[in-house]
């Protein structure tokens, strides 16, 4: 359905939860190094429960390596540094949904070079950010909603 890309994730349980989400929605998980944990981390596997062995994530050595390999495939970047809400994106099957590290987000250079592909989840002024696993769920399931016929045919 979609590709979930976590750029330099730091927190194992968040990545485990996102991995579980990916298995349940038929998404491919990409992890861009450096990671803030080991793939064998028990916290990662505990959060992913018995789904982790079904995931088969692709591990990229760097963001540059990922960007060089992905070619002209469509990307959407989740950031707090834009005003375009996620539901205005025109998601297609196979899109790449990028999310930055929990503490720093996506690199500013990447955001500035793809401003037309940046999306955000609006929040109140009291909120600083959402947990990354919640943000991934919100954005990824909007992609499913927009392409439900394909999802239903392929996965249900």
Q: What is the pLDDT of residues 61-84, one digit of tens each?
A: 999 999 999 876 799 999 999 999
Residue 26 Ramachandran class (φ > 0 left, ψ -120 to 50 alpha, else beta): left
Beta strands 58-60 and 96-99 are unpaired
The pLDDT value recorded for residue 150 is 76
As a whole number, mean pLDDT of residues 45-58 equals 74
pLDDT value at position 46? Answer: 66
Tell me the H-state helices in 26-155.
Answer: 42-48, 63-70, 108-113, 132-146, 148-155
Q: Identify the CATH number of the domain in which residue 148 sits.
A: 3.40.1280.10
> Which domain range does residue 100 map to?
3-155
Query: How many domains, the chain?
Result: 1
* Confidence band for 121, pLDDT divided at 50, 70 and 90: very high
Q: What pLDDT score does 129 carry?
A: 81
């Amino acid at each position: 359905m979609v590709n979930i890309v976590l750029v330099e994730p730091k927190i194992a349980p968040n990545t485990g939860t996102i991995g579980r989400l990916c298995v349940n929605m038929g998404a491919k998980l990409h992890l861009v190094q450096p990671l803030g944990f080991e793939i064998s981390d028990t916290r990662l596997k505990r959060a992913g429960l018995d789904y982790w062995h079904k995931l088969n994530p692709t591990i990229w050595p760097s963001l540059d390596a990922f960007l060089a390999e992905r070619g002209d495939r469509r990307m959407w970047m989740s950031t707090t540094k834009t005003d375009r809400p996620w539901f205005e994106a025109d998601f297609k099957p196979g899109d790449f949904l990028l999310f930055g590290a929990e503490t720093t987000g996506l690199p500013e250079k990447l955001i500035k070079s793809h401003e037309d592909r940046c999306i955000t989840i609006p929040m109140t002024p009291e909120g600083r950010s959402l947990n990354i696993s919640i943000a991934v769920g919100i954005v990824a399931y909007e992609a499913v909603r927009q392409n439900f016929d394909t999802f239903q045919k392929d996965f249900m």
